[in-house]
Amino acid sequence: MKTLKAVALPLIFLLCSGVAQAAEGLIVVKSNHGVAATADKLEAVLSEKGMKIMNRIDHAAGAESAGLELRPTEVVIFGNPKVGSPLMQCAQSVAVDLPQKALIWEDESGQVWLGYNDPQYLKTRHSIEGCDAVLEKVGNALANFAKAATH
């Protein structure tokens, strides 16, 4: 019974807080807005904070162009060389995961989510050493961006 409580209580907390862990290394935040509005809000906060928006991809539109259906799904690609370059100096392979990406999608029940790579997952994936301060800064910034876009 203690094991069930040990697992259930943190899971309930995550679900109630609007933050959940989905695919390995992906932090997922529940949005109070539609996909396009969440992406718009994210772009606004990123621009306000000096981040460069590289692209915004509408996967549902891409699916439609191929004669397929897909619930609203968008990716916003963004970054800042002042932050990404030091990470690449610590482990150049992290460049495959940069610039940062935010995935915004509508699930089968109509709920919208925003997901992004957990910097600690990237640390493990790329064996990043000596960049803990940068990873912490990135993690805090991503969490703040996600909160601003979803609330």
The domain locations on the chain are 19-150
**Amino acid 14: pLDDT:** 41
* Alpha helical stretches, state H, the chain: 2-17, 35-48, 59-65, 81-90, 119-125, 132-150
Q: What is the pTM of this model?
A: 0.84
Which one has a higher pLDDT value, 95 or 19? 95
Those residues whose C-beta lies under 8 Å from the C-beta of residue 99, and which sit 6 or more positions away, are 52, 54, 77, 78, 79, 84
Q: Answer yes or no: are the C-beta atoms of 134 and 87 closer than 8 Å.
A: yes
φ and ψ at 80, to 5 degrees? -150, 115
Condensed to tens digits (0 to 9), the pLDDT of residues 42-66 reads 999 999 999 999 999 999 999 999 9
Q: Which residue has the tokens 């396009």?
A: 36
Distance CA 49, CA 9 (A): 35
What confidence tier does 23 reach under pLDDT thresholds 50, 70, 90?
Answer: confident
pLDDT at residue 13 tops 80? no
Distance CA 76, CA 60 (A): 14
Say which CATH architecture domain 19-150 belongs to.
2-Layer Sandwich (3.30)
Q: Which residue has the tokens 């089968």?
A: 108
Write down how long the chain is: 151
